[in-house]
Amino acid sequence: MNTKKTLRIIVAAGGTGGDLFPAIAVIERLQQRCSCDVIFTGNKARMEADVVPSLGYPFVGLTITGYKGLRSVDTYMLPFRLLRAYVTMRSLISDKKPDVVLCAGTYVSYPLAMAAAHKGVPIVLIESNAIPGKANRVLADKASLIIAAFDDVKKVLSEKARRVVHVLGNPIRQNFQKTMTQSQARKHFGLDEQKTTLLVFGGSLGARSINTAVESSLQQLHEAGIQVLWQTGKNFTHSAQIPNSIHSMQFITDMAEAYSAADLVICRSGGGTVAELGVVGKPAVLVPYPYAANNEQEHNARSLVDRGAALMIRDGDTLAQLIPTALHLLHNTQQREAMAEAMKLCGKPKSADDTADAILQLVG
């Protein structure tokens, strides 16, 4: 599809990769379809301030944080920071005159979406989780289009908001789907091409419960003939000697290849991760983050468990149950293959394309 008119769009996304990268995926697809004038906004102290400019997009940084509890000074500063961010966004909208704004959830969406609502600019929300976050719940009635990854989102929205929900999946970046073969991916990471492989990760900072369970079982995994590709995150340091079959690193930049290398995945169950698992079709043992405000990660995990695509271990049970569960699956090829097939049925690899098309249809 080609159009002569330039699509002007402002994007609010960030805080985590799970909120930022779906928005980037949609913008990439829009740029394939038409001429786009794109500006991103987000927290100038979070990852988006580095990632967005590195991809060549203009970025407007805001000094804004989410709610951090009654004991935090940031909480008492939040109303003033929101007001200042709102004024900045109103000015940006007046200057750029966007056709639409795209908000990918979390607190960074709120100032842009409210300014857009007051200026009469159509609002598109991306909701990656089964249970919407606080920002998207507040903004849902103002949205012209809500892109949802799960049908469950409709259960907590008003009738007005439900009418604009399109369950298209969570958008995934295009380069994510250009994967290596399993043998090539293992070679890429310096792994044995023939060995059964477990991929473990818990985000850029790491997941302490997952890391602790893995560290306590390194010798057991080694003796079972399992090699492990383990992203520890930057907040975790090994206290045990690592066998040569355990390949650990703070951060894995090429996650598509990491998925390709794996026979089984251990990870959290954020919306972005769940979407990736569906696209690559990998069976998983999920450990939902227990402190999420709406317990959305457990809802995400249950959606896959109910379809036979994954197993779930509660965060407090990881030390006792995580590695025994993983080893059982790693030694049960038939069960893993059945889970992989079920996982593929959960995936929506065209989500970013469908979302781009829906936005273009919205703005005419």
Q: What is the pLDDT of residues 233-262, one digit of tens each?
A: 887 888 778 899 999 999 898 899 999 999
CATH topology match: 7-172+349-363 vs 175-346:
yes
Contact 188, 213 (CB under 8 A): no
- What pLDDT does 106 receive? 80
Q: How far is CA 121 from the centre of its chain?
A: 26
Whether 116 shows a pLDDT value over 90: the answer reads yes
C-beta neighbour count of 2 within 10 angstroms:
7
66 versus 209: which is more confidently predicted? 209
Average pLDDT score over residue span 280-291 = 95
The predicted-structure confidence for 147-193, as pLDDT tens digits, reads as follows: 999 999 999 999 999 999 999 999 998 877 667 899 999 999 999 99
- What pLDDT does 302 receive? 95
- What pLDDT does 364 receive? 86
Distances (CA, A) of 229 to 35, 79, 112, 196: 40, 43, 39, 11
C-beta neighbour count of 349 within 10 angstroms:
16
Please identify which residue in the block is written with the tokens 């070679």. 187
For the chain, what percent of residues have pLDDT higher than 90?
A: 76
β-bridge mates for residue 246, sequence order: 228
Distances (CA, A) of 70 to 66, 111, 316, 347: 12, 22, 26, 39
The predicted-structure confidence for 57-110, as pLDDT tens digits, reads as follows: 999 999 876 555 556 655 556 677 788 999 999 999 999 999 999 999 788 899
Of the candidates 95, 101, 131, the one whose C-alpha atom is nearest the C-alpha of residue 114 is: 101
The predicted-structure confidence for 307-362, as pLDDT tens digits, reads as follows: 999 999 999 999 999 999 999 999 999 999 999 999 999 999 999 999 999 999 99
- What residue segments make up the domains of the chain, in order of their start? 7-172+349-363, 175-346
Distances (CA, A) of 33 to 24, 92, 104, 188: 15, 25, 21, 33
- CATH superfamily to which 175-346 belongs: Glycogen Phosphorylase B; (3.40.50.2000)
pTM metric for this prediction: 0.86
d(CA 198, CA 245): 11
- CATH superfamily to which 7-172+349-363 belongs: Glycogen Phosphorylase B; (3.40.50.2000)
The three-state (H, E, C) secondary structure of the chain, written as one string: CCCCCCEEEEEECCCCHHHHHHHHHHHHHHHHHCCEEEEEEEECCCCHHHHHHHCCCCEEEECCCCCCCCCCHHHHHHHHHHHHHHHHHHHHHHHHCCCEEEECCCCCHHHHHHHHHHHCCCEEEEECCCCCCHHHHHHHHHCCEEEECCHHHHHHCCHHHHCCEEECCCCCCHHHHCCCCHHHHHHHCCCCCCCCEEEECCCCCCCHHHHHHHHCCHHHHHHCCCEEEEECCCCCCCCCCCCCCEEEECCCCCHHHHHHHCCEEEECCCHHHHHHHHHHCCCEEECCCCCCCCCHHHHHHHHHHCCCCEEECCHHHHHHHHHHHHHHHHCCHHHHHHHHHHHHHHCCCCHHHHHHHHHHHHHC
